[in-house]
Structure 1
């Protein structure tokens, strides 16, 4: 299975504001302040990052597993966004999504432009080919609930710059997401069908007509918060990006550090993404 090729036939959406504090750390809280949610702490909404066949930048396939291309836009302040990607089947009836079925998960880098220009969030999420990252180490989801395997996993992210490793995002449990498991799934179905145009977010019904030909949906579940280094340091050519989604019951944080530093470490229950910025 070549995941990068297979996902060209999937729709790509991501969740905004699903980790407490991320929007503030990313400098996006003001843009989202006009969006009211049904309950405090809920994600702000969904945004598209890839719609196959769309006649805009969204029709450009952005996923890659080994590099991030800046397309000479380093001045726009590019940042890693370390996330869990859910690779999902879906049921589409009467022009509506009626169910989403997460089948696999993977480490994801929802790499983003941070320059605030008042445009829709999606315009900062896909600025060309190979501007997003997904690991080919996909892990089957046994049960998308608190009782399933995903509840044991943590997310960690790092940059190696000039030979020095820095924590980029705070290491978090997947269970730290504001919405996850059935609550997230039900919320995503509702957002895909009902989200309206507001502030940085778009009405999503316009994209669902492309669901007829899609094999599935990739959902980036939301980015972790940043370390102090991550808040202040944007991507440069030559940086190495590492995102790990790992079973914290099977692997220690030190195991992850050892692997990143080149030591021979067995990570049998881990999805690892390693990209070089070019």
Structure 2
């Protein structure tokens, strides 16, 4: 199916891999956020809205996705890759409420983030203008969004390429190892899209979706993996390359993927690759 990301509402999930928020220095932001269980994600945050609305912050109407580059945010210093699997979902509505989500495509995503203290909302650290996020051009069809489906074979790997050296940035992680995935994630997303309130770092995204015209498709980056020690302590700089790869573990090893990044040879339609050059 052909898609136009600029016509979708796009979101991210905060805290869907145990330990990531602590590594990113953001766990404190969610101290007062109540969740159904300890391992539950913390919130859904918006990254782009295709139409303006009275409650939608203006910056969310700037399309931030670029599959080739990241434009470094002016005046900032701490910019990190957020390696994720993203899903595109067909949405059905009942009045103003999201009734159902059907995941139809997936791919590699960089939910790139500014690390800054005092930002009132997550979205402020996510969309700083054009070319601030990324989604792979190679999206793969989802047969069934459950343990028997294609995604149960896939893993997420990520790398920073600096001075021609390829360095693992996030821990190589299975999609099935997200805290919430498959039907549990879908039900949680529907609840948050309908009921999340404007509290702490979270926003009332149900209002945004309605004001944006209830888009038929939404994209959700379902959570960043934990960082390697290098990824936790090293931030992106001009000239670096960010690479996120979502790949089938029954076809490739993690070593195969790293070599493919080094040789720029990951051209398999079964592998979703996002490679972005950091520019000022």
Q: How does 1:25-44 map to 2 (within 5 A)?
A: 25-44=23-42
TM-score, normalised by the number of residues in structure 1: 0.95
Q: How does 1:201-220 map to 2 (within 5 A)?
A: 201-212=202-213, 214-220=215-221
Indicate the residue corresponding to 1:195 in structure 2: 196
Distance in 2 (CA, whole Å) between partners of 1:58 and 1:7 is: 14
Q: How does 1:1-278 map to 2 (within 5 A)?
A: 6-54=4-52, 56-75=58-77, 77-212=78-213, 214-262=215-263, 264=265, 267-278=268-279
Q: Secondary structure at the match of 2:246?
A: strand
**Deviation (angstroms), 1:168:** 0.5
Query: Superposition RMSD on alpha carbons, in Å?
Result: 1.5
TM-score, normalised by the number of residues in structure 2: 0.94
**Deviation (angstroms), 1:268:** 4.2
Distance in 2 (CA, whole Å) between partners of 1:92 and 1:71 is: 36
Per-residue CA deviation, residues 108-137 of structure 1 (Å, 9 max, x unaligned), is 000001011141111101000110010011
Distance in 2 (CA, whole Å) between partners of 1:124 and 1:265 is: 30
Q: Secondary structure at the match of 1:208?
A: helix
Distance in 2 (CA, whole Å) between partners of 1:14 and 1:265 is: 26
Distance in 2 (CA, whole Å) between partners of 1:196 and 1:218 is: 20
- How many pairs are equivalent? 275
Distance in 2 (CA, whole Å) between partners of 1:211 and 1:184 is: 23
Distance in 2 (CA, whole Å) between partners of 1:51 and 1:34 is: 27
Q: Secondary structure at the match of 1:221?
A: strand
Q: 1:274 to 1:163 in 2, by over 3 A?
A: same
**Deviation (angstroms), 1:211:** 4.9
The answer as to whether partners of 1:52 and 1:210 remain within 8 angstroms in 2 is no
The answer as to whether partners of 2:68 and 2:276 remain within 8 angstroms in 1 is yes
List alignment gaps of at least 5 residues for structure 2. none
List alignment gaps of at least 5 residues for structure 1. none
